[in-house]
Structure 1
Amino acid sequence: MPFDAVLFDMDGTLVDTEGLWWEAASSVARDLGVRLTGDDADSVHGRTVADTAAHLLSRAASASRAQDDHVADMAVVSERLTEEFAARIAAGVRFVDGALGLLGELAAGEVPTALVSASPRRIVDLVLKQLPHPFRTVVADGETPRGKPYPDPYLEAISRLGVEPARCVAIEDSPTGIAAARAAGCRVLTVPRMPTLAQLHSLDRPARS
């Protein structure tokens, strides 16, 4: 086999939740008197709840439009982001084209898989209820000393799997996640923000000589 394990990002890679996350962030931003634009995309997509909350608070402070103190508080904004996102996830998610097929082939080939997400455990568990795949291990945001773009989440998953980083393939869609996987020493397959994983269906096949 050309690799020993496949590590998946979740949002935007397996499930089409990037739009839901943007909606959640936009809703919280409005409470802070801020309107998100395309310029905010790299500070929201693929980012942790804490990173996004910090960005929203920074935008609000820069615009001098922060509202009541109970809104412009890091812990409160983070909780609001999680609540808004969770409500949208609970209503149902759409799987990225080809994702279930790829996961099925990896399971059939007994290839170990891990889920490595920038979302908190609450969000990950809501998605896992809708995602029928037996990941060997799952690492959510907040379960390592540092989150993406640092390598810690990937290194934790790799350690749990008992494999070498260079023998792992990470599938990611955001610059933050790509940076984390590369820093961990994984080989990285990058999919676009609105990806299809159908072209990766043969990922679990042995390399031909």
Structure 2
Amino acid sequence: MTSASAAPESGPSDTRPIDRVFRAALFDMDGTLIDSTPAVDRSWIRWGQEWGIHDSFREGMHGRPARSLIAELVAPAQVEAALARVQQLELADVDGITVLEGAAELISSLPDDRRAIVTSCNRDLAPVRLRAADFPAPSVVVTIDDTPRGKPNPDPFLEGARRLGFDAADCVVFEDAPAGLAAGRAAGCFTVGIAGTHPAHELDADLVVRSLTQVSVRLVDGGFTLVVAP
């Protein structure tokens, strides 16, 4: 794991380039591009109270598909009802969802055919949260409904790369959660972890940054390179 807080290489711009060309970028949504944590916490706390589940279940939940988490907490016959209820709560609560610093600038600096959002939200919730944050969404958005398995399996990022027409090994993944980074790594992508939802030492990634304000892209023939500020 490489930390962006390490001493950068010397240069006129005091930045550190990543020495490879990427074809496309695959962005997680919650915790990476937008901050929906307060809304997520409110919804899941209320859900847990309604279902009589101790609040400790939320430890490590970020970045995981709702269905897989719920399947560990309720009886098999209750999964569908429990999932429907938490989705109802999340769709109704979008107060305070904001764009994370540097996110809009970074994704907007890439051509639309070289960027995608890959989220564990379902296809109903993802656009609701993006609209609430007034976030400039790309044309390609992959949700949990689009693949048979969610993160930490590689399927979501493989699907994002496929829709853009590139090999996943030529893509860079931006993620804030261990489960998402594991999915990106399993897909063969270069991984960038963004500290915040989880501390930097919990993020197993090729590169870890404090925020997306540290990252910019330089367009080149065939794709782009990453430049990391200290």
Q: TM-score, normalised by structure 1?
A: 0.81
Alpha-carbon distance, 1:165 to partner: 1.5
Alpha-carbon distance, 1:9 to partner: 0.3
Alpha-carbon distance, 1:35 to partner: 2.8
Alpha-carbon distance, 1:57 to partner: 2.1
The correspondence for 2:44, drawn from 11, 22, 25, is 25
User: 2:108 & 2:82 partners in 1: Cα distance?
Assistant: 37
Q: State the match for 1:63 in structure 2.
A: none
User: 1:23 & 1:13 partners in 2: Cα distance?
Assistant: 19
Tell me, yes or no, if the aligned pair for 1:7 and 1:169 is still in contact at 8 Å.
Answer: yes
Q: State the match for 1:94 in structure 2.
A: 98
Unaligned runs of 5+ in 1: 59-71
Partner letter of residue 163 of structure 1?
F
**Is 1:180 the counterpart of 2:197 in the alignment?**
no
**Is 1:45 the counterpart of 2:68 in the alignment?**
no
User: 1:31 & 1:203 partners in 2: Cα distance?
Assistant: 49
Give deviations 1:174-202, integer Å, cap 9, x for gaps: 11111111111100000013462100134
Q: State the match for 1:4 in structure 2.
A: 23
Tell me, yes or no, if the aligned pair for 1:97 and 1:198 is still in contact at 8 Å.
Answer: yes
Change (3 A) 1:104 1:55: same
Tell me, yes or no, if the aligned pair for 1:112 and 1:135 is still in contact at 8 Å.
Answer: no
Alpha-carbon distance, 1:146 to partner: 0.8
User: 1:128 & 1:96 partners in 2: Cα distance?
Assistant: 12
User: 1:40 & 1:84 partners in 2: Cα distance?
Assistant: 16
Alpha-carbon distance, 1:134 to partner: 4.9
User: 2:150 & 2:83 partners in 1: Cα distance?
Assistant: 15
Larger % of strand: which? Answer: 2
Alpha-carbon distance, 1:53 to partner: 1.6
Instruction: Give aligned pairs, total.
Output: 191
The 3-state SS of whatever aligns with 1:12 is coil
User: 1:34 & 1:203 partners in 2: Cα distance?
Assistant: 48
User: 1:20 & 1:115 partners in 2: Cα distance?
Assistant: 20
Larger % of helix: which? Answer: 1
Tell me, yes or no, if the aligned pair for 1:4 and 1:111 is still in contact at 8 Å.
Answer: no
The correspondence for 2:109, drawn from 105, 112, 126, is 105
Partner letter of residue 81 of structure 1?
V
**Is 1:13 the counterpart of 2:28 in the alignment?**
no
User: 1:23 & 1:125 partners in 2: Cα distance?
Assistant: 19
Partner letter of residue 201 of structure 1?
S
Alpha-carbon distance, 1:168 to partner: 0.3
Tell me, yes or no, if the aligned pair for 2:64 and 2:150 is still in contact at 8 Å.
Answer: no
User: 2:226 & 2:62 partners in 1: Cα distance?
Assistant: 33
Q: State the match for 1:200 in structure 2.
A: 215
Q: State the match for 1:84 in structure 2.
A: 89
